[in-house]
Structure 1
Amino acid sequence: MAIASNGPQGHLNGKVGNLVFYMLNGQPVVRLIGRKGKPSTLQLANYQEMAVTTKLLSKMGGFIKLGYGLQARGTVHNAHNLATSYHKKQALTGVYPNISIDYSKVKVSQGQMPETAGLRIEKLAGGLEISWDPTATHDLQHNDSVMVMICCPESGKDREYLNIARRSEGKCFIPMYEDVLNQQIEPYIAFISADGERVSDSVYLGNLNGAGKTQTEKQQEEKYKQVKTRLDQLESSYLGQLKENHGLRSNTKAFKYLEKEYRTLQKQLEHLPGKPG
């Protein structure tokens, strides 16, 4: 049952049939509910696009709040809505079912502050050093804060640094463990004024260490490893029994089952993707 709290001409709140009425950010909203049919390819593509986008933004909450918050002021949207909309439309590549992130198009911040000159990133022992031109102009202030986003697609150890340095310092250092430092790294930098009223577009600092393995490739490698491990176990038993029988095949049911599985896995492994190297 829906309630018209503001009279018969007011917005409903609740359920009427297969419609649900509610308020969202001060705006009246109505949506359809009910059992869904089999999704089309376009719907499946949309689901994957949203899933990939959501995963990307899941560890950027603080950065997105600052980087898109100014845009959201005075609108019915919030910072996360704006970031989701941008990345779903602009930062994806590939077609279903192989949709992925184009990290060169990721924008973790959007604003009016001019871009900073001299941006550079360097991999050092124990971490990353990011540097920039610390010179301030009438548009850029010495006390602007530096925000850095480090995406690590392989390990999933994404980190956001929302106040890692001041513009006047000209550089910052981000400590990282060696294993993560040598994996795929996608770094971004942005600047925000001390009062939080101005923010810059984020700048992509470029890929480090090349593209890592995709989720599909990791799954293929794991499958190959499982089959290879099982084959090695069977091979030891199979060859051992042949040796005990002086190279002759046994007529027992157990041996026949062993041989059948062994031959099947041998053939499967020949055509299975995910082989190391």
Structure 2
Amino acid sequence: MATFEKGILGGFSGKVGNVVGARWRGKNVMRSLPQRGSYVPTENQLLQRERFKEVVTFLSPIKDILNRFFGKQQGDKSAYNLATSYHLKEALIEVVDGFEMDYPKVLISRGDLRGLENPAVTTAANQVVNFTWADNSGQGNANPLDQFVVVFYAPDLNVFQAYEYISAREDVSAQVTLPAFLAGLDVQVWATFVTQTGNTAAISNYLGVLTVT
């Protein structure tokens, strides 16, 4: 790094050719651009990149839901960051040609609210999906007006469908009509409860895989 007060360039900031100019401690300084090295990532680093890519690709479409319902921000880590960390550690499995999500361990929400009790799901004609559960209002912090949220994922199309605030805990049932393009496909299903304000959520339930009729 060199310093200079006057010259053909004068004081400048930024890159010019293969040098960079700036002000540092009241002086004009100039340094050369760093040379590209011959860095080659290790096999373990490449493996970690593949793991991270798989999780982020899967979670990105439901980032908004995760940011709202996956716990509270911790320092500079958003709820989505926390969800990413959880899924990297707990919900990813290695297969012959890479990695894939372990659907029963996937969570769409995480919090201290009382969750679903005895949930069940069935299908009906015209892409209708019916849900039932037991009303556990009054147990812990469960409120009759807590709202039902459900997320579907179609692996064949890599498509999510999310439905929020469609029924209350005290209603003990909910019905969703999926888009026609999902007819005949298998979908993974997760459901949860959130408070009316959306400030607190339960740990979501994995409800299994079903074929849309």
Classify the TM-score, shorter chain.
Answer: 0.7 to 0.9
TM-score using structure 1 length: 0.59
1:191 counterpart = 2:205: no
1:103 counterpart = 2:110: no
CA-based RMSD of the aligned residues comes to 2.7
Structure 1 pair 2–88 and aligned structure 2 pair: CA distance change class (3 A): farther
Structure 1 pair 34–151 and aligned structure 2 pair: CA distance change class (3 A): farther
Structure 1 counterpart of 2:63: 61
- Residues 49-74 of structure 1, C-alpha deviations (whole Å, 9 max, x = no match): 11111111121122102222x421x5
TM-fit CA distance, 1:36: 6.4
Structure 1 counterpart of 2:5: none
Which has the larger strand fraction? 2
Amino acid at match of 1:94: E
CA contact (8 A) 2:144 2:168 kept: yes
- Residues 19-69 of structure 1, C-alpha deviations (whole Å, 9 max, x = no match): xxxxxxxxxxxxxx965633332222112111111111121122102222x
Equivalences, count: 184
Structure 1 pair 17–147 and aligned structure 2 pair: CA distance change class (3 A): farther
- Matched position secondary structure for 2:50: helix
Structure 1 pair 99–143 and aligned structure 2 pair: CA distance change class (3 A): same
Structure 1 pair 155–95 and aligned structure 2 pair: CA distance change class (3 A): closer
- Matched position secondary structure for 1:76: coil
Q: What is the identity percentage for the equivalent residue pairs of Structure 1 and Structure 2? A: 21
Structure 1 counterpart of 2:120: 120
TM-fit CA distance, 1:183: 1.6
* In 2, Cα distance between equivalents of 1:88 and 1:2: 41
Amino acid at match of 1:57: L
173, 176, 183: which one pairs with 1:174? 176
1:88 counterpart = 2:88: yes
1:149 counterpart = 2:133: no
TM-fit CA distance, 1:177: 4.0
* In 2, Cα distance between equivalents of 1:61 and 1:172: 24
- Listed as ranges, the gaps of 5+ residues in structure 2 are 1-20, 26-31
Q: Which has the higher contact order (CA 8 A, sep 6+)?
A: 2
- Map of 1:250-261 to 2, 5 A cutoff? none
- Listed as ranges, the gaps of 5+ residues in structure 1 are 8-15, 19-32, 210-277
TM-fit CA distance, 1:17: 7.6
CA contact (8 A) 2:69 2:200 kept: no
Amino acid at match of 1:116: L
CA contact (8 A) 2:116 2:134 kept: yes
* In 2, Cα distance between equivalents of 1:85 and 1:34: 31
Structure 1 counterpart of 2:162: 160
Structure 1 pair 39–110 and aligned structure 2 pair: CA distance change class (3 A): same
CA contact (8 A) 1:136 1:142 kept: yes
- Matched position secondary structure for 1:195: coil
- Matched position secondary structure for 2:202: coil
Structure 1 pair 2–34 and aligned structure 2 pair: CA distance change class (3 A): farther
TM-fit CA distance, 1:3: 8.0
Looking at CA atoms only, which structure, 1 or 2, has the larger radius of gyration? 1
- Map of 1:1-277 to 2, 5 A cutoff? 37-68=39-70, 70-72=71-73, 75-95=75-95, 97-126=97-126, 127-138=128-139, 139-177=141-179, 180-209=182-211
Structure 1 pair 35–58 and aligned structure 2 pair: CA distance change class (3 A): farther
TM-fit CA distance, 1:96: 7.0
- Residues 176-225 of structure 1, C-alpha deviations (whole Å, 9 max, x = no match): 2455242221100111111333210011001224xxxxxxxxxxxxxxxx
Amino acid at match of 1:63: I
- Matched position secondary structure for 1:119: strand
- Matched position secondary structure for 2:122: strand
